[in-house]
Structures are given as structure tokens and as C-alpha cells.
A and B are shown apart, each in its own frame.
Chain A
Amino acid sequence: MKTNPMKTTPSKTDTWWALFFLGPWLIGFLVFTLGPMAASLWFSVTRFTLPAAPVFVGFDNYGKLFTADPRFLGSLGVTFLYAGVTVPAGLILGFALAYFLNLKIPFARFWRTLYYMPAVVTPVITGTLFIGLFDPRHGLINYLLAQTGVAGPDWLLDPRYAMYAVMLISLWGVGGGMIIYLAGLQSISTELYEAADLDGASPTHRLWKITLPLMSPIIFYNLVVGIIGTFQLFTQVWVLTKGGPASSTEVFNIYLYKTAFEYQNMGYASAQAWVLFLLILALTALVFKSSSTWVYYENEVKG
């Protein structure tokens, strides 16, 4: 009987070794991820205000979220506003930075390092730094504005401006996306550009016909990660404003955190968490679905 030399069946010993090495991760996943997720799914259909025991209430929590909780809808609105501005702005800025830093400019490595540095700074440090920079009376930003004759607003203290300040701060970390774009740009074969040059293609043509299609998988990746990141925004806002003033920066996760750990309403907070999960899942699925029309893999040709 002939056996396929490529197909090997692991021995029992191999299986046990595999399980042994996978064990710590599996235990961690079961205890710290899957278990809590299952528990929160159960809590989401209960009235569970600590320290009282959970009481099954069906889908009451979900119903209340969409029909009787303007604060929830308000926090969703704030989150969508934040995502609607920072995701596209982050993608465009990150790509533009990478594009220019990929050109033959003096001290290119220095500039790349400089622009990437904010991405490695933790949100707590960034937040604390910007509290100082945005200080209406002693901050550098209003000082610079004053030099140009513009009276700066109260930024983080004014409900009308606080969210814009948070958005600006988030764009400071755009170097994280830039470095991925840069890696992608450098992997594009120069032969393609040389061939385009011979054919008389303009720089705009080269950007639209070569660079962007070949970069589309990376743009797609950054888009998905960006959407997930913005909907999970918490630390920076918590450090900067704790959702204030007057709820102007109360993004979804801030409200969720307060519901769970300040109001002790674990059942309602679990329902919020599942809505967030489903929302991110739906948006990601939408982006994946749309990707077939604009993401090009290898030598794929569309249309």
C-alpha cells in the first residue's frame, strides 16, 4: 500500500506535546476570554446591580438601550462622530506622510523616526501631555494661536470644542499607520514605475494606477484596524476628560465603563458591551464585503 509522503499523521506523543505547549494559551483563553464572554452574554439578559444576584429579564436591557436611554444614543452619536472624522483623516494623513517620506528627501530616516515616535507613546502619557498643551490659559496651543491674533477656545473645558481636541490628539498618533504604509510602498517593484515612465505616465497616473491599487490591501488592513480602534476608544478620553464636559466626549466605552463600574449595573453594561461587539462586527463585515470592489491582491485585475 502506498502512502502519501507529504501527509503525516501526528503520533499520540506529538499530540500531547502540542497540547502541553498550547495549554497555557488555551487555559488563558477559556478563563479570561471565552468564560467572561459567556458570562457577560448571560448577564446581558439579567437585571444585575451589584451586590444583588442577577435576575433574568429577557431582552429588557437591549430594549431599553434603543428606546429609553438617550444617553446611550448620545454616546453612540459621539462615537460615530469621532470615528467618522478620525478614521478617514487617519488613513489619508498616514498614507500622505508615508508617501512623502518614501521620496528621496534629506534625512528621511530621521523624519520617519520622528513621525513614528508618537505611536509608541502610551495613551496615558499622550493624554497627560495634551492636557497641558490644550490648557486655555497656560497651554502652548493657545499661546501659538494668540501669536497669530487668534483667541484660542477653552478646548477640553468647553463642550463645543472638547471633542475636536480629542480628535486632534488622536491624529497625533498617525505614525502607527504611516509605518505600515511605508513598508508597503517600499515593497512595490520599481520596475512597474520604470515601465510606467517609459509609457509616459504622469505622477498622478502612477499614484492612481500603480501605487493605490497595490497598496489597497494595506489600506484595507488599516481601515479595519482603525474602525475597531475608534470604537474601542477609552483610555485617552478617560485621561483627558472622563467623558465631560457635559458629556461632550462621552464615547460609547466611557458610558459602558461608568454603567459597569460606577453605577454597578453589570447586566445593563453587559448588554451595551454586546451591542458594541455586534456593531464592530457588522461594520467590519461591511468593509470586508466592500473590499472585493476596491482591494487588489497580487496581480489581480478588476472590472
Chain B
Amino acid sequence: MSTCFRRLLLAGLPPLVAAGPAVVVLARDWARIPETVASHFTFSGTADGTGGRALLLLLAVGVPVLLAVVFGGIAVAPAARAGRRMDPARAFVGLSWATGVLVGGLTLLVVLANRDATDPLAVRLPGGELGLPLVAVVVAGVIGALLTPSSPAAPDESGGGPVLRLGPTERASWTGRAASWPLTALSAALLLAGPLTGMFLTWATGIPLTAAGILVLWCSAVRVTVDERGLGIGVGPFGVPRLRIPQAEIADARVEDVAPLAYGGWGLRFVNGTTGVVLRSGPGIVVSRRSGRRLVVTVDDAATGAALLNGLRERAC
């Protein structure tokens, strides 16, 4: 199920589902509803306005359908695109759930209060129970927001990196590699020195040296993958350990000519809000995350990888 469709369901269905109990009671007990019903209440719960019982139908069916159409429509509209930090789509689905439960719950209370009533103005809305619906409204809103997949962030003001445009059903996967010559050379030296030290001097030093050589060799190459899931960086021949940034968290990707010294050297770096996987100097992909953090990975053909990341983000709902 696409993110778009899921968000449509998440935003559109709740008002309809929440109206269910009121609709069921209305349908079953229609004969017990008086011709004239209490339709307006003061804050304390006493009726101060009346109307035909068709009003209840409108409240139980018409309003939820309208809410479903409005919320569902806005949730998938391109205008609901997320900003860099905030994700209004999630807040919006939360609002839909809260409103749905509020309308559905109140309608149910009004229907129940009017059932078997003889004098519409004597009808009392059970005021003491207003606390419980309120809690339900808030809880529903929070659950709705948490269930919503986050939407792609808009690129920052500076315009964003290169974009590789994709067809609506097209799937793309890009793989790039980067190897570090200094690290490969270091590992070769260690793998040579380790066994030699062991054989001619002592294995107490030889074994750790050999182990270090294997470790350095493992870390001397990475494979970077870009696809629908986002950006993945696998270390070593089997891609383990693996770093992953989900597509929805990526605000923008661009290419940078990476100078290792700017990140304090080679390897896995953490420099003021930026994570770096720097194996060599030269082109690398720089990903700006929605959280404001950045990730830099040096990789061959970085331009294609960055462009694909941006293309996937633009196509996402």
C-alpha cells in the first residue's frame, strides 16, 4: 500500500468509523426518536434549542461524510507537503481522528439523550460524561498522528541538489562503492607484519596485529545503496554493519567534494551535527536530514546517487 493511499485512509476513515455507534443506534431505535428533538445544548448540558429529527441524521451521517471528504482530500493534496522540520501531515491526521471522535461521540450522546424523550426542552445531555469523551478525543488524536507515515520533507531554501526524475511506477536502485587506499595499504602492512612478528618474535604481538589488519581491511571499503527505502551504507564485503537513513527523513541530497581534513580525518566521523563516512577525498553524497543533522559519505559517481535520492523524494506522496 502506498504511503499516499495509507494517509488517505488514515485521514478519511476515522470520522466515518467514529460515527458508527450513533448510526447503529439511530437505525435500530428510529421509532423511539421523537419528531422534535433537542438539537442545541448549553455548556452545562441542558437543551436550549430544538429541531426536526432529520437533524440527527444529518449529524450522524452528513457531517462525518463531509469531514471524511475534507480530511481525506487535504491529507493527500500536494499542498500537505512537509516543511523541513515539521510534518503537518501527521498533525493533520491526528486532527482528523480527534474531530471524528468528537463529532461521533457527541452525536451518540445526543441520540441517546433524545431517545424516548417526551419534551425536547427537558432533555439533558449527560454532562458528567463529557470528561470521558474529551479524553477519548485527545487519545484518538495522538494515536492517529503516531500511526501516520511521515511525509517527505521539502528541500531547503537554497533550491536543493540534482534531481533524477522517475516514472510513476518506475523502480530504481543505485549502488556505488568507495575504497580507501590508505586503509587498504595499512591493512596490507598489518597483515604482513602480524604473522612475521608472530613467527620471528612473539605471537602475543603477532595475533593482535593480524586481527587489526583484518579489521582495517574490512573497514576499507563501503557500498552505498539508494532506492525506495532511502540511503544505505554497508561496510565491508558483506555490508555489515549497515547504516540506514529512511527516505522520509531525507530533506535533500547533494554532491560535495569532500576534504577528509574538514571532518577531522578518515573513517567514521562525528563533527558538529554531521556524521561522516569518509574513506577518501573527492566526491561524496551529502544528505540533509529533516532533524537538521547531515550525513556525508564519500562514494564514486555520487552525482547519480544524490540525484536518485532527490528524484525519489519528489515522487513520494
Indicate whether A and B interact: no
Which B residues are within 8 Å of any A CB, using their own CB? none
